[in-house]
Structure 1
């Protein structure tokens, strides 16, 4: 059942991405010749509706929308009729090219809204330990105190509390609950060494408290869930961009790159842990797919956006030779990353570290 869930999740993400391209193309009157979920020459299912052939193909690792006039081989061969991709304004073409990624981010946002409404298991902002001679201890905070606010802004999770402290400048007014009574203290954070998500040592404000480890379901009303979803989508996007940066700079080792086997395995595990966990992981993959597709690699949407911007700025079309060389380089990078991910997945299976 978990494997089926994984395939359904991946197929849905691809469908939603391609739906973005499809609807944007329709908006600007561009003819959509084919809409496929999956790759391969064989069509498991096929249905012609109007001008578009809809199909399901056997390799569930992607999909595509074929637009009239679209060419991935020679940019100089163009159909400039009014219902062609190159018969519309350049800015409209940019919207069509970026619509797939936009829809992935939109899907992630909607999933986070659903998570906010349903409620997610989070670390409660309850103090488990107070470190001696640190600001919290000096201010009188004790084990068991529940932090309610920082500088007048409410906090409901330990993560939110940690972020507020990390972003603070100057004194903090901490509101907390002790023995069913609310209190407030003012303290000055002390800068100290900490570790970020990538294991790097950083200097950040600390007050000297450790979580109690207590978990609770945290949910939001509709309006608050919109703010929660916006914050989670933005944070997830920033995390993916930072991960790419750390991978390029060598902070994150290449052995951490995962492939489709990892995605299927983790999606399977997430589906077994419940709908909220599955939604959260699906949202993260959707953000990942949306951001990565915008990278300026010719084999991706970002590469086509780059070529379109080049044409808009220079009023020239890239030569066939330039287009071919850059596209081949893009495919080499893309296939190389896919191969690396698959290689790492095989090693994880061999060493028994794959979370099946």
Structure 2
């Protein structure tokens, strides 16, 4: 319940901030163009709070916090007194109307830059792109545990999430990724990850895993949480012991224990299992025991040790922090990078290279809002910046009903020399509503599917 309430609350906060800035963009430019603004509302429905300024504009906070709007004086929406015709939106020049409509998305874009600047000044802690256990295509290409990815396809990589994003887009495009790494020994080498060899229909949400990559901060240490009574290790290995080697082979992570134990079992006989017990190094002679799953399935050899039920998150090993001046170009560069990545993803979805499962709806957004808020102010600022940029891009799509659709109408009017007919604009509105409904339906479907799976 706490998780649900937290998600709802932080989503309301996020939407409140982003919608207010978006609508303020329309409002501010409309005022500068001499348009009378009748209402500035954050939310829809019945106002919970409102007041009027000296210009007669009503500022309101409404009951349904899922958007907002700016209502302007417009002959298309009702009769306008003769003395106020010069303040009507529809009476303004095409360029002025274009400026007013474009101001909303531009406000979200500027907000994105400001939020990223604040994030860089505060400092966002994260994990470096250091590899954990390596297998499959990655192992064949020479990648090793402890490699830190520095660049992918000439782009600098600062965090593991950046690495995932670059590898995912490369896999979607069906080309191999050129990767520069710093090895655990300190040398710098270039390797090629053959993502073009991934099978058709690969899971685009886990490209790294399918290529055989895992991340060091996600690996479980080989620390024992429990030893069931009657198991092979019962009476020798204790909860809290850290397994360091099996039959002379070093062990660093818990998931390395299983394969070594299987090899021991097939060989037969006892082996030395080395553990660290509160700083003391012990060598224990243990014979793996053949175990059959209670639900059926293939038998396997086991020591009978389990990881801890509660596992602490690995400490952050990367920090993106800059001074107030240095953070300005970094925020601009990050905004440009995020814009290019977002537009690239939209293009890939239209061309079929990216799955439509990448479209997220309000449920996922609420969950991410809550998760980032828990991780700290810098992470929540990054989340707000990403959603603000997404709102700017989506609103500029040439879909009637959205700002981009209105801009398309005005551009046609600018070229044509006269407005589109009311019939054409009405038809466009119906098409836009249908497209928007389809997009929202897809987003909700993906959200529900994620919850179910």
Regarding TM over 0.5, the answer is yes
CA distance in 1, matches of 2:437, 2:416: 30
- Give per-residue Cα distances to partners, 1:157-193, cap 9 Å, x unaligned: 5677897xx9xxxxx9x896988xx8778x6969773
Tell me the equivalent position of 1:193. Answer: 196
Cα deviation code 1:58-79 (max 9, x no counterpart): 2211110112226479xxxx99
- More moved, 6-15 vs 236-245: 236-245
Equivalents in 2 of 1:246, 1:225: separation in Å?
31
Establish whether residue 87 from structure 1 lines up as the match of residue 115 from structure 2: no
Give the C-alpha shift of residue 24 in structure 1.
Answer: 1.0
In the TM superposition, 1:23-38 aligns within 5 A as 23-38=28-43
> How much has 1:265 moved relative to structure 2?
2.5
Q: 2:112 aligns with which of 98, 108, 112?
A: 108
- Matched-pair contact (CA < 8 Å) for 2:76–2:90: no
Classify the secondary structure of the residue corresponding to 2:87. coil
Structure 2 residue ranges without an equivalent (≥5): 171-177, 205-212, 219-315
Deviation at 1:35, TM superposition (A): 0.4
Change (3 A) 1:346 1:68: same
Q: Which residue of 1 aligns with 2:229?
A: none
Hey, what does 2:122 align to over in structure 1? Answer: 118
**1:257 aligns with one of 345, 350, 359:** 359
Shift of 1:199: 5.7
- Which is greater in Rg? 2
* Counterpart mapping for 1:160-309 below 5 A: 193=196, 212-213=216-217, 215-222=316-323, 223-309=325-411
TM-score, scaled relative to structure 2: 0.60
**Aligned pairs for 1:124-135 within 5 A:** 124=128
* 2-structure distance, mates of 1:184, 1:250: 36
| 1:18 aligns to 2:34 (yes or no) | no
Distance in structure 1 (CA, Å) of the matches to 2:157 and 2:12: 37
Alignment equivalent of 1:4, drawn from 4, 9, 16:
9
Contact 1:148–1:177 (CA<8 Å) still a contact in 2? no
Deviation at 1:248, TM superposition (A): 2.9
Q: How many residues align?
A: 334
Residues 281 and 70 (structure 1), Cα distance of their counterparts in 2 relative to 1, 3 Å cut: farther
| SS of structure 2 residue aligned to 1:121 | strand
Match in the other structure for 1:48: 52
Give the drift of 1:105. Answer: 1.2
Structure having greater relative contact order (Cα 8 Å, sep ≥ 6): 1
Gaps of at least 5 residues in structure 1 are: 167-171, 201-208
Structure-1-length-normalised TM-score: 0.75
Report the CA distance between 1:99 and its aligned residue.
0.8
Query: 2:369 & 2:149 partners in 1: Cα distance?
Result: 34
Deviation at 1:227, TM superposition (A): 2.6
Q: Does structure 2 retain, via aligned residues, the 8 Å contact 1:79–1:86?
A: no
Structure 2 counterpart SS, 1:277: helix
Once residues 220 and 335 of structure 1 are traced to their aligned partners in structure 2, the CA distance between those partners, rounded to angstroms, is 41
RMSD over equivalenced CA pairs, Å:
4.4
- Take 1:267 and 1:159, find their aligned partners in 2: how far apart are those partners? 17
